[in-house]
Amino acid sequence: MQSLRRSFDNQPLVQRSCPLCGERAQRLLLRGDRDFIGINTSQCSACGFVFSSPHYPPEVIAEFYRERYRSLFKGQSDPRGLALRQTYLGERAEFYIEFLGSEGLLPGSGGTVLDVGCGEGTLLRTLHARRPDLRLAGVEPTVAFARHLAEETGIPIAPGLDELRDGARFDLVTLVHVLEHVHDPVALLRQAGARLGPEGHLYVDVPDLAWHSSITDLHIAHCSHFSRHTLSAALTRAGLEVVRAVQHRPPTLPPSIYAVAAPRRGGIVDVVQADPERDAHAVRIRSIEPGEPNFWAREIRAQLGRLK
């Protein structure tokens, strides 16, 4: 993690407006993060949304995801055989395919599915093996991962939603633990929603803010922290109709919230109601103990684990 820390040396921090409602006023909840990079966690004074601010500018974060997120942060520099080396990825993919099926979200034969932030592609690979009758596509900004997945499977992979084929629409669009990574989650949801067919559904899964209680929950990769209320509000602001938003416990991931949304049959809702649990979230985040000792304790535990 020393290389990760050095990669942000001398980078400026800027105050962000609330990504959910646009309010400038905010209260700082905590200075500190699991990698001791200098992340600040704040809460919007109007709607209660929790997000990283002051934070690194969007162009710095975009470069981090293109060049260093997989190699430095995830330790996944080589996409070849990654699913075989990290078997939890297959377990996770199997869970989500079964779960999406049980929720009635997987389309019938000839249907279309887009996975946004598909990474090494385990979900798409597993879905292709289980349902070869579906037409699949993905979005992945890490160039090496996108290229390898496309070459190995023949599934079309784009670096961004705006670079998909013009007019491409899907029966199901998934964002599994992706939304918490972006500076402007409402814009991403709006882009994803624009790719839905008339009867399509958007499936979004994010870490649950209600379970954030440790410094390990706060790090450079996650700059937006959602409760069930604020995830629903973000989808609504993006012009989508929330079908349901539910807390759950997916395997190999932290406690999470999933939401299912569909195209809205009316106008966009701009008013964001304040999160009724905002004070409880603030108390919990403020009680987290940050600092160098926590960083080194985690590093030592990780090293000992690798020796076993």
**pLDDT tens digits along 248-284:** 999 999 999 999 999 998 766 778 999 999 999 999 9
User: What phi and psi, each to the nearest 5 degrees, are found at residue 148?
Assistant: -65, -45
Closest CA to 278 of 216, 233, 215: 233
Q: What is the pLDDT of residue 257?
A: 98
The CATH number of the domain holding residue 216 is 3.40.50.150
| Structural domain count, the chain | 1
Per the model's pLDDT, the better-predicted residue between 203 and 303 turns out to be 203
Longest dimension (CA), the chain: 58
- Comparing 147 with 19, the larger pLDDT belongs to 19
Share the mean pLDDT of the chain.
89
Looking at residues 144-159, what average pLDDT do you find?
A: 91
Statement: residue 2 has pLDDT above 80: no
Contacts of 65 (CB under 8 A, 6+ apart): 141, 142, 181
The domain in which residue 129 lies consists of 2-270+277-307
Q: Which two tokens stand for residue 299?
A: 């590093």
Quick check: 23 pLDDT over 60?
yes
Where would I find the H helices in 200-259? 228-237
pLDDT, residue 218, reads 93
Cα gap 237→175, rounded to integer Å: 17
Query: Residue 308's pLDDT band (boundaries 50, 70, 90)?
Result: very low
- Give mean pLDDT, residues 54-67: 85
For residue 135, what pLDDT is reported?
Answer: 98
- 3-state secondary structure at position 192: helix
Question: Does residue 146 or residue 111 have the better pLDDT?
Answer: 111
